[in-house]
Amino acid sequence: MGREVVKMVLDEADFVLTAASARSAGPVDAGTFVGKPACGVMFSSTLEEALDSGPIDVLVDFTVPHAVYENAKAAISRGIRPVIGATGLSPEQIDELDKLCKDRGIGGLIAPNFSIGAILMMQFAAQASKYFPNLEIIEYHGDQKLDAPSGTSIKTAELISKVREEHRQGNPNEEETIEGARGGYYNGFRIHSVRLPGVFAQQEVIFGAFGQSLKIRHDSYDRAGYMPGVAVAVRKVMGYEGMIYGFEHLMD
């Protein structure tokens, strides 16, 4: 994702790549590293070095949950707006980052998914759940993904739960003969996580009713598909105050 972000920033006429940080990249030009002409920005070995390298408006962070929290605090303390593409932050951490942003008068964004198609899938699923309250979520990712369920499926479940009253689905006498066979329980419905090599990122929400079913599915095939959403977030976060949770709040 970091490579794709660098490519996107270099391609957008109104963006300027000021710094880049990747511990594994080494002292190499960021443009050359992603297969584009040299841009004069060398990778920094630490985030602090990158953040202090010049005037920066936005930090785009696609690292991991245990790192993004401290990364975001480091950015906010310097008046830099964090745009975070990792999941796993606790509600308490999000609330603290929101307060820190407001104290500095800047905006920030935490988005479980930057794919505009995935955001629409989540919104359509929430709309459908008003009429089809019986549902299950199945999400598919590669076998190296660390968290389960995915942040996208959790965000989908949260949006559905805002418009669907909790009720436990299925037979009340249902019994799992193998633990976990029915997936994770969330507000009365189930979330299933598939992890396999060769899989990139897909999610479907299956709705069932008497005599019919409805499936809403989104498939991602390449990380470049997330970049239009990242570009929108970088532009729009400049006009907000506080930490926003969910890309859907940026969609008009």
What are the residue numbers of the active site?
Answer: 141, 145
Q: How far apart are CA 163 and CA 158, in angstroms?
A: 9
For helices 116-129 and 227-236, angle between their N-to-C axes, nearest 10 degrees: 90
| First vs last C-alpha separation in the chain | 25
Residue among 210, 160, 213 nearest 186 (CA): 160
Closest CA to 233 of 82, 90, 11, 56: 82
The Cα 10–Cα 179 span in angstroms is 48
Are 147 and 87 a contacting pair, CB within 8 Å? Answer: yes
Vertex 200 angle, CA 196 and 203, to 5°: 90
What distance in Å separates the CA atoms of residue 41 and residue 97, rounded to the nearest whole number?
28
Q: List all residues 6 or more positions away from 80 whose beta carbon is below 8 Å from its beta carbon.
A: 51, 56, 57, 58, 59, 106
Q: Which of 92, 87, 124, 125 is nearest to 109 (CA)?
A: 87
Q: What is the chain's percent helix, strand, coil content, to nearest 5?
A: 35, 25, 40
